[in-house]
């Protein structure tokens, strides 16, 4: 399997980090996890247009993870020569969210159908709400969901993708929890969004201090990787984004608790199983 960290940013705008989004290519399937800011630009850089995605999977409905979902729906629909409904997987609440996004797009859908004689269908989105258990098992690619813990944001889901004897876990925003441990057991690659608490505390904003209790720290991510015998820990969505030159400090903080491979992802970092 090939894991491409398309966007490694957070809600904080960053010139070199697009919003959270990760591409997992397993067998013949292109699976996109989350749709943060600029996802289609990074997807193009990885060589794919939205029409080539087999599924889009949302870990949760926070804006930084979903803000360009509407761009993906519109562009896939408007570029496709034939009807090409988009399969979407997400936690309970995803169907209602998708319905609201489609309602938001009503004007544009109307303009394009009126303008193009060969475009006479609405964008199709087929939603599967997944929170715990097997989501699909197609052509040798299996995906399992488990509840993550990003409270008070709930429900949220993490996912494990299995193919050819290898396993990749996309955790999303979560603190350590039983569901995450279940998915991470003996995984080859574990992708975790992280914060660095002492750097967050240095930010002079009261509101940003609220993020401490619902994100994994570097230390917690490393501990989850260690006790689940993970091979490679990928740190993404770092808050705050590392000041250039300080990346080794992030790696060292993880290495104090985990002796496997550690990757601090930048946009378009690739990790293979
Ligand atoms: Zn986030
Ligand atoms: Zn979140």
Q: Specify the pLDDT at position 115.
A: 97
* Domain chopping of the chain, boundaries: 2-265
Q: What is the mean pLDDT of the chain?
A: 96
**Interacting residues of 103 by C-beta distance below 8 A, sequence separation 6+:** none
CA 87 vs CA 53, 123, 126, 170, 212: distances in Å: 9, 11, 5, 18, 33
- 164 Cα–ligand 2 center, Å: 31
- 79 Cα–ligand 2 center, Å: 30
Average of pLDDT values for 236-261?
96
CA distance 223 to 245: 24
- What is the number of the ligand closest to the CA of 37? 1
- What is the number of the ligand closest to the CA of 210? 2
Q: Specify the pLDDT at position 203.
A: 87
- 60 Cα–ligand 2 center, Å: 7
Average of pLDDT values for 158-169?
98
Q: Per-residue pLDDT tens for 69-117?
A: 999 999 999 999 999 999 999 999 999 999 999 999 999 999 999 999 9
Percent of the chain surpassing pLDDT 90: 93
Q: Of 34, 64, 68, 149, which is the active-site residue?
A: 64
Instruction: For ligand 2, an ion, list residues with CB under 5 A.
Output: 62, 173
Residue 170, pLDDT > 90, answer: yes
- 120 Cα–ligand 2 center, Å: 36
- 118 Cα–ligand 1 center, Å: 39
Q: Specify the pLDDT at position 181.
A: 98
- 121 Cα–ligand 1 center, Å: 33
Q: Specify the pLDDT at position 5.
A: 98
Average of pLDDT values for 144-150?
97
- 64 Cα–ligand 1 center, Å: 6
**What is the third-level CATH fold of 2-265?**
Metallo-beta-lactamase; Chain A (3.60.15)
Q: Specify the pLDDT at position 252.
A: 97
First-residue to last-residue Cα distance in the chain: 5
Q: Where are the alpha helices (DSSP H) in the chain?
A: 39-45, 63-66, 69-79, 94-104, 106-115, 178-184, 197-201, 218-227, 247-255
Q: Is 138 a catalytic residue?
A: no
Is 233 in contact with 192 (CB distance < 8 Å)? yes
- 184 Cα–ligand 1 center, Å: 20
Q: Specify the pLDDT at position 210.
A: 86
Q: Specify the pLDDT at position 267.
A: 98
| Nearest residue to 54 (alpha-carbon basis) of 133, 128, 111 | 128
What are the structure tokens assigned to 78, written together?
Answer: 């408007």
Q: Per-residue pLDDT tens for 38-55?
A: 999 999 999 999 999 999
- What is the number of the ligand closest to the CA of 21? 1
């Amino acid at each position: 399997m090939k894991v491409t960290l398309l966007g490694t940013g957070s809600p904080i705008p960053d010139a070199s980090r697009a919003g959270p989004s990760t591409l997992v290519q397993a067998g013949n399937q292109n699976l996109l996890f989350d749709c943060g800011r600029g996802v289609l630009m990074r997807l193009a850089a990885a060589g794919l247009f939205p029409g080539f995605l087999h599924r889009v999977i949302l870990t949760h409905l926070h804006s930084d993870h979903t803000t360009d979902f509407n761009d993906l729906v519109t562009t896939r629909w408007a570029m496709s020569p034939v009807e090409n409904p988009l399969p979407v997987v997400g936690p309970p609440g995803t169907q209602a969210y998708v319905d609201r996004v489609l309602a938001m797009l009503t004007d544009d859908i109307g303009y394009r159908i009126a303008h193009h004689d060969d475009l006479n269908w609405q964008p199709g989105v087929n939603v599967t709400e997944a929170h715990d258990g097997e989501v699909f098992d197609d052509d040798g690619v299996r995906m399992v969901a488990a509840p993550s813990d990003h409270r008070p944001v709930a429900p949220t889901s993490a996912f494990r993708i299995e193919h050819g004897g290898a396993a990749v876990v996309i955790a999303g925003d979560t603190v350590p929890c039983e569901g995450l441990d279940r998915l991470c057991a003996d995984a080859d690659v574990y992708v975790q969004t992280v914060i660095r608490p002492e750097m967050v505390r240095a930010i002079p904003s009261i509101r940003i201090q609220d993020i401490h209790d619902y994100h994994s720290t570097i230390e917690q991510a490393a501990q989850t990787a260690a006790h689940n015998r993970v091979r490679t820990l990928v740190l993404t969505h770092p808050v705050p984004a590392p000041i250039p030159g300080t990346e080794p400090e992030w790696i060292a903080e993880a290495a104090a608790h985990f002796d496997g491979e550690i990757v601090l992802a930048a946009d378009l970092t690739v990790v293979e199983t």
